[in-house]
Amino acid sequence: MTSVRDQIRLLEAKHANDALSDEEFERRKSEIFDAIPEVREIAPTQIPDDTGALSWLLASIGMVGVMAVLTFLIGDLTIAATLVATLIAAVAVRAYCKLDG
């Protein structure tokens, strides 16, 4: 079975070589697109709710706060930013591992 993209490209090639008229090209292209099932016909998947968005926002604000404190304690913004970036990377890896199973 060929993909929709391949079918459309084949039609475009035929149309470019004058093997298909404009009307025939549009008709066949419509047939291809009409054969694609509507989104509402596809079985719904479980989508997680957005309750974690607030957690990420609070974590981000916390990281900025940590960077401010580290900058004050260390006295160097670059080192503080590097430490915060490392913490963010660790959290991202942990989240990925949790999602991965």
Q: Length of the chain, please? A: 101
Phi, psi of 75 (to 5 degrees): 90, 5
pLDDT digit string, tens, across residues 11-64: 899 989 988 899 999 999 888 888 887 655 555 565 555 556 667 777 777 877
The CB density around residue 83, as the number of other CB atoms within 10 Å, is 16
pLDDT > 70? residue 1:
no
Q: Tell me how far apart the alpha carbons of residues 88 and 12 are, in angstroms, rounded to a whole number.
A: 48
pLDDT tens digits along 62-75: 877 887 887 888 88
What's the count of helices (H) and strands (E) in the chain, helices before strands? Answer: 4, 0
Question: CB-based burial of residue 93 (10 Å sphere; 0-12 exposed, 13-18 middle, 19+ buried)?
Answer: exposed
